[in-house]
Structure 1
Amino acid sequence: MNLTRSLVEAKADEYREREPLYPVEREAVETLPRALETGEYGRRDVEWVVQWYYRRFLGAVANAERRDREAAFRRNAFEDVREAIGDVATTDDPGRRIDRLTDLEGVDVPVASAFAFFADPERSIVVGEREWTVLSECGELDDPYPDPPSVAAYERYLETCRSLADRLECDAWTLYRALWRLWKDRAERESGESEAGDPP
């Protein structure tokens, strides 16, 4: 499958119509970049980013794992979180941004990429197995999803996504929505094939 501009636009629109978290995500995309840049945010705002990373899977991540990760992040002193986000705002280097954020408890590379995404949804994109798998199957990435991804793997992923977004003339937020829906299509096809192969 080739990722074309028309396909990405159609799937991004489909995301808006079918994904239950879209309204709150849209609000965050509109408000968090400015808030994170100026420091005008509270503890709940940054906790929401961590919660969003896991809860967007709508139950596919075990509740115990999700709660453990969220609890780990809450153990960070808020001033440490503010300092890390402030440091991130001073550099344009994606790898350094992710590396700095992973100094925080409960923040691995994927969660750090969620912070980067909401800080700059036009040029940064969250990384996860679903998004990576679609890009790999479309021939945009050579390797399967590295679980967990390293900072270097994230940098390769981001470079690929930015190049693709430039080629398709869309922002990272649009590309993210399209990749997410393409993964859902893939999962539905595999589920249908599995059911078709079940004995009567």
Structure 2
Amino acid sequence: MDLGRRVLEQQEPLYAEEEEMYEDEVTRLESLPTAFEEDEWTHEDLEWIIEWKVRVFTKPTLKHLDKNDDEEIRARINEAVHESNIRTKVEALTSLSGIGVPVASAILLFINPDRFTVIDKRAWNVLQETGYLRQEISDDPTVDEYLLYLGACWAIANEYGVSLRTLDRALWVLDIKEDRNSSD
């Protein structure tokens, strides 16, 4: 499989068809970055991001998240919004009970979709298959894996002149299409 601007951009309609939360995702990508920047996000916004990322694991994740008090959650989110170091942003979020690197990356996406993307096994598989990443992703991705993944995504988005969100959606779709082709 080859990646290129045309291939990446052609996946958007397929993503919209496959992703049941697509319309809400688009709306929240427009509103949440400002809400996070102005500290006007709500617990419901955070719950929606978690549901968007983990789907079937939403209730267990939220149960763990509820172990954190609201002040701690707000402090860690604000740290992720205002800290300049990416590792520190991710570590602030993952210091919260219930938040691993994949969910932290999803929160960062909605904080700043121009700078961050979501680490995902499917997307990682496509990058590995196309030679952009050499190692397999671990079952519980680390901050170092996210930094490696994010760097590869920045390079590809820059190389092909697409947004990180376009790239992320395309990688997700391309892995689904690959799974379907291999099971035929």
TM-score normalised by structure 1 residue count: 0.87
- Runs of 4 or more consecutive aligned structure 1 residues displaced over 3 Å after TM superposition: none
Cα deviation for residue 75 of structure 1 reads 2.6
Structure 1 spans left out of the alignment, 5+ residues: 56-62, 193-200
Alignment-derived partner of residue 80 in structure 2: 88
Pairing 1:125–2:117 present = yes
Pairing 1:159–2:151 present = yes
CA distance in 2, matches of 1:90, 1:148: 26
* RMSD over equivalenced CA pairs, Å: 1.3
- Of 156, 160, 171, the residue aligned with 1:168 is 160
SS in 2 for 1:123: coil
- Give the length in aligned residue pairs: 184
Alignment-derived partner of residue 3 in structure 2: 3
Pairing 1:148–2:140 present = yes
Structure ID, larger Rg: 1
Greater CA deviation, 109-118 or 12-21? 12-21
Structure 2 spans left out of the alignment, 5+ residues: none
CA distance in 1, matches of 2:175, 2:16: 15
Matches within 5 A, 1:1-200: 1-55=1-55, 63=56, 65-192=57-184
Amino acid at match of 2:16: R
**For the Cα contact (< 8 Å) 2:132–2:152, is it kept in 1?**
yes
**For the Cα contact (< 8 Å) 1:12–1:175, is it kept in 2?**
no
Cα deviation for residue 112 of structure 1 reads 0.5
CA distance in 2, matches of 1:191, 1:69: 31
CA distance in 2, matches of 1:83, 1:135: 34
Cα deviation for residue 67 of structure 1 reads 2.3
